[in-house]
Amino acid sequence: MKFRFLSLYLGTGILTLVMFGLILPFKVNAVSSSSILVSVVPENPAPGENVSISLNSYSSNLDSVSISWSVNGQNILSGIGKKIFLLNAPAAGAETNVVATISLPDGTIDKRIIIRPTIMTLLWQANDSYVPPFYKGKAMPTPDSEIKVVAMPEIKIGSQMTNPKNMTYFWKKDYTNNQDGSGYGKNYFLYVNDYLEDSNNISVIASTVDQKYSSEANIDIGATQPKIIFYKNDVNLGTLWEKALSNGYRVEGSEILEAAPYFISPKDIRIPILTWDWSINDNYINTTDFKENLIPLTAQSGISGTSKIKLEINNMYKIFETASGEINVTF
**Would you list the DSSP string of 150-190?**
EEEEE-EETTEEPPGGGSEEEEEETTEE-TTT-EET--EEE
Query: What CATH number was assigned to the domain covering residues 227-330?
Result: 2.60.40
pLDDT tens, 2-26? Answer: 444 334 343 444 333 333 333 344 4
pLDDT tens, 201-245? Answer: 999 999 999 988 899 999 999 999 999 999 999 989 999 999 999
d(C-alpha 146, C-alpha 149), whole Å? 10
Query: For residues 165 and 185, is the Cβ–Cβ distance under 8 A?
Result: yes
Report the pLDDT value the prediction gives residue 198, as an integer from 0 to 100.
Answer: 86
Q: Domain locations in the chain?
A: 33-115, 119-222, 227-330
Residues 6+ apart with CB under 8 A from 51: 40, 41, 42, 45, 86, 87, 88, 89, 115
Give the pLDDT mean for 28-55: 86
Confidence (pTM)? 0.75
Report the pLDDT value the prediction gives residue 14, as an integer from 0 to 100.
Answer: 38
**Fold of the domain spanning 119-222:** Immunoglobulin-like (2.60.40)
pLDDT greater than 70 at residue 279: yes
Give the pLDDT mean for 121-143: 93
pLDDT tens, 80-119? Answer: 999 999 999 998 878 899 999 999 998 999 999 999 888 8
State yes or no: cis peptide before 272, omega within 30 of 0. Answer: no
- Identical fold for domains 33-115 and 227-330, yes or no, is yes
Query: For residues 219 and 125, is the Cβ–Cβ distance under 8 A?
Result: no
Residues 6+ apart with CB under 8 A from 101: 67, 68, 69, 70, 108, 109, 110
d(C-alpha 98, C-alpha 107), whole Å? 20
Find how far residue 243's CA is from the centre of its chain. Answer: 35
pLDDT greater than 60 at residue 31: yes
Was domain 33-115 assigned CATH 3.40.50.1820?
A: no
